[in-house]
Structure 1
Amino acid sequence: MNQYTKATAIGFCAILLWSSIVGLIKEVSHSFGATGGAALIYTVASLFLLFTVKWIPLKKFPKKYLIYGGLLMVSYELCLALSIGYSQSSKQAIEVGMVNYLWPSFTMVATILFTKKKASWLIVPGIIVSMLGVVGVLGGDEGLNVREMLSNVQANPLSYGLAFVGAILWAAYCVITVRMAKGVNGITLFFILVAVALWIKYFITGDPAGMHFSVSSVVYLVLAACAMGFGYAAWNVGILGGNVTMLTGASYFIPVLSAALSSLLLATPLGFSFWQGALMVCGGSVLCWLATRVRANAVPGPVSGGGH
């Protein structure tokens, strides 16, 4: 196996790791609480990143990327972890994760609005299909039913709201990373900042669930941290030395793979309407990607930042 093929394979490992995150975060929150569990995950993940991606001195960071990129990344990771942690059931956690996967479509829209990238008419049906997919997922057995969707959201507006805001924040991060990062990978620093923010929240507000250590809870914690930390490390290897076009296209199917892995991990069956909605989210993302690719005939830069 040559280096090009090996790097591509490692990139695919990142997709598998990210697809397991929703289920793993939910399992960790069962034992350590929403805030405490997230704080532990990002603490351990930061340690993994220090040994893989390594530490980059602050003086090497472009000032704008350090400030704006750091703020967006930290805010996004907080939204992601807490939206899943605060979910009231395993099925709701999977639904919340699906809302987060609106980020590819949002990224393409942000790229068009804030850069000079042109897009074809496919961008419109792409956004519509993605949004309808989320309606289908949140509509439960009723499928594309807006009233049922709103009823489900009202049952836990905090989780769904955090996931939606997170999707917007990640789209913004992807766009500014391409414009401001200048090749600097700030993931290690940003994960440390996320961990610090979560520990501050934990010690100020507490966590009614408490922390319950056991062999299984520690195993899930390590697995979640590995999925977070090593996912980014593997993705960087893939996009730097592998087939970027193949990896980018495959990344748009993370929602379906994530739902499948989460369903198995959390022992939560998902109905036909859910899978139909999940496929629509993926399809909408692919249409948005094609909308920019048709004109530019190149892989959109922001997506190469990865995402979960």
Structure 2
Amino acid sequence: MTDLYKYTLCGVTAILLWSCLIGLTRTVAEQFGPIGGAALIYSTASLFLMLVMGVPKLGRFSWRYLLVGSLLFVSYEICLALALGMANDRLQALEMAVINYLWPALTVLLAVVVSKSQTHWLVYPGIAVALFGVVWAVTGDGDLTIAQLTSNIATNPTTYSMAFIGAFIWAIYCNVTKRLANGQNAIVLFFILTAITLWIQYFISDEQGMSFTLPSTLNLILTGMVMGGGYALWNFAILKGNMVLLASLSYFTPVLSTLISSYILSVNLTSTFWQGVAMVTCGSLICWWYTRERS
């Protein structure tokens, strides 16, 4: 097997692992609590990443990249993890995931706004399709009205806000860190900082103590390894993998993630929900297609 195939396979595996994370993160939150569970996941993932990629050396990175990158990364990961963990039920957790997958379209939107350069006009309908897909999924089988949408959001405004804000934060992260990183990757350090921040949040919260059992501990270890393994494999994939293929496949993550997570969480999704997921995916693909770098 050539290096191209091996590194590309690493990327495909990373996408598959990431597609499992929504469901696994929710199950850990149910077992250990939203904040405590998230802190445990990121601690486990940090240990796994340090074993695979080594302990991060601060001297390799610019302080500007570390400051801005860590602030955005930690904020995003906490928003997503707590949105999943604090959702009223498993179906709502999957709604949080759909909102999160707005980030590819939002990344393109922010890139166009910041660069002030001309882009293909179909990018804007693509963004609109992705946004409409979220609305379509969140309203469920109810009427597609503002009243229905606000009624659903009102059941747990905190989690909906965190999911939406998180998508924007990750879009900013994707645009900003590419310019500041200078080819470096501080993902291990960012994971450690996320874990530390979550532990601080846990100890100042009124969340009850955690109870460890063999099944819950094994689930935690699995989730941490899946999360850390996904990032580690992707880090290898971007070195010599077929990034055009991997970028294309990554835009189907919403569909794959919803499929796998609904199985993990034993949630039967309506056709309306799947239609919303498909629209988010199609909208993101349109944005990517008309803004991709052409050789």
TM-score class, shorter-chain normalisation, is over 0.9
- Runs of 4+ in structure 1 off by over 4 angstroms are none
The verdict on how the C-alpha distance between 1:178 and 1:116 changes in structure 2, with shifts beyond 3 A counting, is: farther
Instruction: Give 2:192's aligned residue.
Output: 192
3-state DSSP of counterpart to 1:133? helix
Following the alignment from structure 2 to structure 1, what is the Cα–Cα distance between the partners of residues 235 and 143? 37
How many residues in Structure 1 have an aligned counterpart in Structure 2?
Answer: 295
- In the alignment, structure 1 segments of 5+ residues that lack a partner are 299-308
- In the alignment, structure 2 segments of 5+ residues that lack a partner are none
Partners of 1:42 and 1:192 within 8 A in 2: yes
Following the alignment from structure 2 to structure 1, what is the Cα–Cα distance between the partners of residues 184 and 248? 24
Cα drift, residue 236 of structure 1: 1.3
Following the alignment from structure 1 to structure 2, what is the Cα–Cα distance between the partners of residues 173 and 221? 27
Q: Which amino acid aligns with 1:161?
A: S
Mapping of residues 1-308 of structure 1, within 5 Å: 1-115=1-115, 118-142=118-142, 144-208=144-208, 210-293=209-292, 296-297=293-294
TM-score (norm 2): 0.97
Partners of 1:117 and 1:292 within 8 A in 2: no
Cα drift, residue 72 of structure 1: 0.3
Following the alignment from structure 2 to structure 1, what is the Cα–Cα distance between the partners of residues 206 and 252? 37
Partners of 1:22 and 1:84 within 8 A in 2: yes
Cα deviations by residue, 1:111-135 (Å, 9 ceiling, x for unpaired): 2222366420111111110011001
Cα drift, residue 144 of structure 1: 4.1
Cα deviations by residue, 1:184-214 (Å, 9 ceiling, x for unpaired): 1111101100100010011111314x31211
Question: How many percent identity over aligned positions?
Answer: 46
Instruction: Give 1:301's aligned residue.
Output: none
Moved more, 53-62 or 96-105: 53-62
TM-score (norm 1): 0.93
Cα drift, residue 222 of structure 1: 1.3
Cα drift, residue 233 of structure 1: 0.7
Partners of 1:110 and 1:175 within 8 A in 2: yes
Partners of 1:135 and 1:143 within 8 A in 2: no
The verdict on how the C-alpha distance between 1:287 and 1:57 changes in structure 2, with shifts beyond 3 A counting, is: same
Partners of 1:25 and 1:81 within 8 A in 2: yes
Following the alignment from structure 1 to structure 2, what is the Cα–Cα distance between the partners of residues 71 and 31? 28
Following the alignment from structure 1 to structure 2, what is the Cα–Cα distance between the partners of residues 212 and 3? 45
3-state DSSP of counterpart to 1:292? coil
Partners of 1:135 and 1:146 within 8 A in 2: no
Partners of 1:132 and 1:280 within 8 A in 2: yes
Q: Which amino acid aligns with 2:176?
A: I
Partners of 1:136 and 1:143 within 8 A in 2: no
3-state DSSP of counterpart to 1:138? helix
Cα deviations by residue, 1:216-249 (Å, 9 ceiling, x for unpaired): 2112211211121111111111121111001001
The verdict on how the C-alpha distance between 1:5 and 1:145 changes in structure 2, with shifts beyond 3 A counting, is: farther
